[in-house]
Structure 1
Amino acid sequence: MAVYILRRALGVLVVMFAVVTAMFLLLHASPVSPVNQLAPQVAADPAARAAVEHRMGLDRPLVVQYADYIGGLPTGDFGVSLYDGSPVADQVGRALPVSLELGFLAALVAGVPAVVLGTWSALRQGRAVDRVTRVVTVVAMSLPGYWLAVVLLVTVDNPDYLPGAGGFVRFSDDPVRNVQVLLLPAVVLGLAAFAMITRSLRGGLVEAYASDHVAFARAMGATPMQVLRRVALRGAVVPTLTVAGVLIGGLLSGTVLVENVFQIPGLGQLMVTAFQREDYQLALGGCVATAAIFLVLNLLVDVLYLVVDPRTRQGLACD
């Protein structure tokens, strides 16, 4: 098992290296430059532009810039913002907990109801609750996130209980207000994930209940709850974990749209600001952080396979 986890961790590092390299080359190959954000008389003067680019280190060969950037990553050095000269790591460090908290709340909003409704729907296959569940999940997957966010801002905005855009308060300052501010964005962010996890779990349970394992357990006198917990869920949880791992990784790292609509100061809003300022050093730092979150979560899902599925551990033992 340790060898498997080590192999998967090395794979994550390789993918992370490829992501960083691709993002670095794409951003530096773009025609935009933070110098364009300077005063027009400075941006239009070749000598002034050259002086600013020299001060920012943009006149160095691309290979040298890349080597410096890669060399600093193991120590947490993401470089400095080309807009104001502040360390990128500090800005990412302030925004990252906000996005993680929003993603975690969205995962709760999506995961807990999905498990309950998916299980209930599978146990009542073909009945009214099953038909309603399928309709609800299709509608939830079909709603555009941006449209839903705007609708909620207009219709549900309540400054006392469910405030809309703005007014973010950190959890350490006021936990209750923090959750109130993040609840609407979490619902928007988690709605599609809720629908997909529900459908995946329902489908897995329906297939599991039709298997010989469940028939054998029933023949041996197992109670319905024992059949569900010990047999059916074990067969359904692996494909559901695969779907949930990808979706929750997206919840924690893909908050650009929701954060900007609700004015949440997380990684998503930070990256939009960076691109607006043509500050690709800051944009690159945000991209690296989101990619790392996604890859680490998928690594955790791979490890969970070993915990919930004995067949995986047996396959590793045979190898």
Structure 2
Amino acid sequence: MPMLWYVFHRLWQSALTLVLVSMVVFAGVRALPGDPATALAGEQADPAATAAVRADLGLDRSLPVQYFEFAKHAVVGDFGRSIRTGTPVRHMIGTTLPVTLQLALYAMFIAVLAGVAGGVIAAVYRGRWPEWVVNGVSLVGLSVPTFWLGILAVLYLSVKLSLFPASGYVSPFENPLRGVYFLTLPALILGVTHSAVVQRQTRSSMVETLTTDYVRTARAKGLGPGAVIVRYALRNSLIVVTTVIGLQLGLLIAGAVVTERIFSLPGIGKLTLDSVFTRDYPVIQAVVLVISASYILINLLVDVLYTVIDPRVRVPGRAQ
């Protein structure tokens, strides 16, 4: 029962956060320079035609009324139609969001695999050459801009060596092997950057955990190094790592714009850029709101996972 109450408490907090985010998104989009009615009607259109377009888009009404209409329809998943193409925004997001999610999850898998392994190595071999190598690689991953790394990968791994395709997308649901093949290079580029963050947090948490009394006791009982590291040190370090992974996954979903552009992936990042350039209000609002909702949902799941991963974390009302 306390656990259910904790989840309910976090749910209404997340809902309130989402409402506040929707207000900020709505106000921010309206603050963008330019008039979508003028862009749609044409610069040379007479004022009457521009006013008719503005009225058709609902831009002639007051901001509170516009926000209420936007929120009322957004609750049921209706984000209107694109000003640029006339396509329902819900359909556009439904087509592009899965591509970004596939890329983000694949990149996160690479980041967790490399980051946790590197963090464990750096903590176990602290002060020796394996730690220096791992820390050096992570420093490079943090320092090199993603767009530059992506361009180099396309030039050398795609164009010169022909190991991966330079652009394009195949759905893994239609052709799993070919779909993974097309996503591997962009996921690797994103994963390298985010694995550095995971590695540093894993190392920091592991170094602290390896000096605790229960780890020394486990060693004194005669447990092997592998069992001590995996069953005691790593397991008790996962709560910090889980937090970082949750935050990094949210950043991956929101920040895949550049990578999708480099590799011509039809994801939500490309949709966002196209919408910003054309002042497509409904699409911009919907995209930012969906990304924000994904970020909030990920943080909610991470909070709930705390009590599963680490029994020492207590929810309000649970017996101590």
TMscore range, shorter length: over 0.9
Aligned partner of residue 263 in structure 1, secondary structure: coil
7 and 275 in structure 1: CA distance in 2 versus 1, 3 angstrom threshold: same
Matching of residue 7 in structure 1 with residue 9 in structure 2: yes
Does the 8 A contact of 2:112 with 2:195 survive in 1? Answer: yes
TM-score (norm 2): 0.93
Does the 8 A contact of 1:92 with 1:267 survive in 2? Answer: yes
Partner of 2:174: 173
Does the 8 A contact of 1:34 with 1:278 survive in 2? Answer: yes
Matching of residue 301 in structure 1 with residue 279 in structure 2: no
Does the 8 A contact of 1:137 with 1:195 survive in 2? Answer: yes
Partner of 1:40: 43
Does the 8 A contact of 1:271 with 1:283 survive in 2? Answer: yes
Q: Distance in 2 between matches of 1:199 and 1:300?
A: 23
The Cα shift of 1:90 comes to 0.7
* Alignment: residue pair count: 316
The Cα shift of 1:222 comes to 3.0
Deviations 1:71-113 (A, max 9, x none): 1122111122122222111101111100000001111111112
316 and 210 in structure 1: CA distance in 2 versus 1, 3 angstrom threshold: farther
137 and 293 in structure 1: CA distance in 2 versus 1, 3 angstrom threshold: same
Partner of 1:164: 166
The Cα shift of 1:121 comes to 2.4
Deviations 1:198-245 (A, max 9, x none): 111111111111112211222233332332233212331111112111
Partner of 2:59: 58
Q: Distance in 1 between matches of 2:55 and 2:212?
A: 68
The Cα shift of 1:177 comes to 2.3
Deviations 1:239-285 (A, max 9, x none): 11121111111112321111112111111100101011110110111
Where does the alignment leave 5 or more consecutive residues of structure 1 unmatched?
none
- Range moving further from structure 2, 226-235 or 209-218: 226-235
Partner of 2:256: 255
Write the letter of the residue equivalent to 2:170: V
Where does the alignment leave 5 or more consecutive residues of structure 2 unmatched?
none
Aligned partner of residue 265 in structure 2, secondary structure: coil
Deviations 1:24-57 (A, max 9, x none): 0111133322223233322xx2111101111222
Partner of 1:194: 195
Paired residues for 1:110-259 under 5 Å: 110-158=111-159, 161-165=163-167, 167-259=168-260
Does the 8 A contact of 2:6 with 2:315 survive in 1? Answer: no
Q: Distance in 2 between matches of 1:73 and 1:244?
A: 29
Write the letter of the residue equivalent to 2:29: L
Q: Distance in 2 between matches of 1:181 and 1:279?
A: 30
Q: Distance in 2 between matches of 1:231 and 1:257?
A: 39
CA RMSD of aligned residues (A): 1.8
Q: Distance in 2 between matches of 1:85 and 1:253?
A: 25
Deviations 1:279-315 (A, max 9, x none): 0110111101111111111111111111111111376
Aligned partner of residue 156 in structure 1, secondary structure: helix
Q: Distance in 1 between matches of 2:196 and 2:105?
A: 17
Paired residues for 1:61-76 under 5 Å: 61-76=62-77
- Range moving further from structure 2, 71-80 or 155-164: 155-164
